[in-house]
Amino acid sequence: MSDGISAKTKGRMALLMAIVTIIGFGVLIVRLFNIQVVNGEDYQYRATQQQLREIEISASRGDIYDRNGNIIAKSATAWTVVLSPVTIKEEKKELLATGLSEILDVDKKTVREAADKDTSYWVVKRKVEREVAEEVIAFVNENKITGVSCTEDIKRYYPYGSFASATIGFTNMDNSGAYGIEAYYEKILAGNSGKIVSAKNAKGGNMPFKHEMMYESEDGNSLVLTIDETIQHYLDKNLEIAVKEHNVGNGAMAIAYAIKTGELLGVSVKPDFDPNTPQAITDEATLALLATLEGEEYTKAVQQAQFRQWRNKAISDPYEPGSVFKIITLASALEEGIVNTGNVFGCTDAGVTIQGQTITCWKRGGHGQQTLSEIVQHSCNPAFVNIGQMVGVNKFRKYFEAFGLMETTGVDLPGEAGSIYHSDSVFGNIELASSSIGQSFKVTGLQLISAVSAAVGGGYLYEPYIVKSVIDSEGNVVEEYEPTLRRQVISEETSKVVAEMCEGVVTLGSGKLAYVPGYRIGGKTGTAEKLDKNYAEGEEKYALSFLGFAPIDDPEIAILVVLDEPEEANYGSIIAAPVVGAIMSDVLPYLGIEPQYTEEEQAAGNSKVPDVIGELVHDAHADVRNSYLTVNVVGTGATVVRQVPEAGTTVSKWSTVILYTEEGDAVEEGVVPNVVGLNVKDANDMLAAAGFSMEIIAEDPEADNLVAVAQTPEGDTALAEGNVVAVEFEVKKEDQ
């Protein structure tokens, strides 16, 4: 037997090895073909991803301005504090957690647990201010802690806090618009982020700069709004006070609307929130309720409260408008020629019965015989029900639609709701009766003010809008928005009659508390029972409102105030009209609308300051206005706790009375100007501008050519603002 391997065996082994080699190379070739050809693009992409690092360059979000160029929202640099846990030394972790929790106001336990994670990136806190970021850097440097960095970020700021917050909205942590204008105009404001793409070496480090490519970010454009910062502040302050005065349970809203263009000059919603910290609940009653809850119940209640305070009640919450809607009923009937100024209507205690259902008047015993103007002034329900029946189902519905109340307004804001109205199939005479007085259907506040503005502003229905223009980072106008006329609903002649009848509401009727001396204001009260909720007997809830507009001869601005579920079931004429009057007393002079005084108002002379301490602020405001004096309210309390000058003080007409609403409000001190040698008007204007009231001392305060010859205190004297300067006047002699 041979000891070696036979030639035959060697041949077989060689053949086997050749086969194995061929098969192996075949598999390898197939594998390479699969990698390079079939899945080449996919593997190339994966390799690129492993070899490249992308760093995003945030785009600067565009600013938001009011119509006068005041910044409402802006973006600025902030920082994100980041940990790289895998590089933090064990002995430094506890110190790190303690320090960051104190500096950043974050949970220490969370930071300590993060420091043990097997990762190179963990965010401690975003949107950190420069000063805080610098404190973090100083802390880690001082304690020689590795693995902590501050990366540049963008943060949104709202300089005016809760100013128009439900309308402006806010941004989320990713700097994207979450609500309001911020969300609606996201594409315009956001811009486009850039990035830096750099190659990495095998250890994960960056390659030299020659392997780096930058794609520049494109900043967002800015918006110029129709909102006027000053008018918005008037709305916010007065609405906040009104909510406190009447313990309003379901929120409140106020809208200032440019009648001739559809521009929104201001939109206020209460309760509101600070868009700098939108998650924080601000309503005191809600906070008190939350304090009683725990666990899931608490979490759910917080979320509901947040959504509620972010909601824009003026455009998202339809409500029954009540008697304010009678302006639309009146306009429709006048346009159709069904009624005219010569008509007389009867109103008795029996009311009016339609198909077995009786609607009575709010006034016990009724109003008796009334003219058309008087039923508007008295807001007489039976008379308006009869007018509605005269208009008829079809025509009434036609005008309801023509005034834009069956569709959304098209305003450039998110979340707009439409009306809730009777369908054709169920709209009969009973539904017509309730609709004619503003009950049994719902519209939004914006729908209503738009429709009424058309009824009193020449008959022209405009599309409401809130953005005037878009501008780039250089201040160049990219796009400009113009008023959009939807249609003319009624004639200018009819509209003029409607406006003049609404003036009677303020001068002679239920809206007297909205009167501002020197101005022709029209309006309509609204007291709407909320019929869609089942309340216990005696616990009915109401939405009380007043819509005012001015001036009557050429309407420019309309203001709607709605107080939803005030504590006392009163009338819109009692609690809402004074709020609109107070707003109008500030807004009309601000807009440069000249007063048109009656002879009595125009005559020079003195007035006595009324005693308003202890009164609700808006009631006091009306009392002072009706004494031919102007008002300055300090604070946002519900009642007057102090007044300057004191009650009974004699001052010249149109002097300013300061009403303090909170204890401890500081009294400013000023310097009395020298008015000797000036006439009555100029002396009063100079003293008023300096914060003082004036008392006229003269034999005949209404005489012509009066000139100041002495004053007490003298010029350049320090005096608390609001106090009285007695000025002695004499008739100017011809040679003077």
The torsion region of residue 22 among left (phi > 0), alpha (psi -120 to 50) and beta comes to alpha
The DSSP bridge partners found for residue 206 are 200
Across 593-611, b (16+ Cβ under 10 Å) vs e yields beeeeeeeeeebebbebbe
The DSSP bridge partners found for residue 484 are 463
In contact, 376 and 319? CB cutoff 8 Å: no
Alpha carbon distance 96, 141 (integer Å): 11
- Cα dihedral angle (473, 475, 477, 479), rounded to 10 degrees? 40
Please say if 2 is a catalytic residue.
Answer: no
In the block, residue with structure tokens 């015989």: 369
Count of other CB atoms within 10 angstroms of residue 209: 7
Q: Rounded to a whole number, what is the largest CA-CA distance in the chain?
A: 160
662 is written with which tokens? 């909170």
Q: How far is CA 619 from the centre of its chain?
A: 25
Q: Who contacts 681 (Cβ-Cβ below 8 Å, separation ≥6)?
A: none
Q: Are strands 477-480 and 467-471 parallel, antiparallel or unpaired?
A: antiparallel
Helix H, strand E, coil C: the string for 438-489 is: CCCCEECHHHHHHHHHHHHCCCEEEECECEEEEECCCCCEEEECCCEEEEEC
715 is written with which tokens? 């010029």
Please identify which of the residues 162, 323, 434, 545 carries the catalytic annotation: 323
Alpha carbon distance 229, 265 (integer Å): 8
Alpha carbon distance 673, 721 (integer Å): 12
Count of other CB atoms within 10 angstroms of residue 524: 35
Alpha carbon distance 442, 561 (integer Å): 16
Q: How far is CA 594 from the centre of its chain?
A: 28
Q: Are strands 656-660 and 630-634 parallel, antiparallel or unpaired?
A: parallel
Alpha carbon distance 356, 444 (integer Å): 31
State the number of CA atoms in the 13 A half-sphere of 172 facing the CB: 7
Number of H helices, E strands in the chain: 24, 31
Task: Provide the annotated active-site residues.
Answer: 323
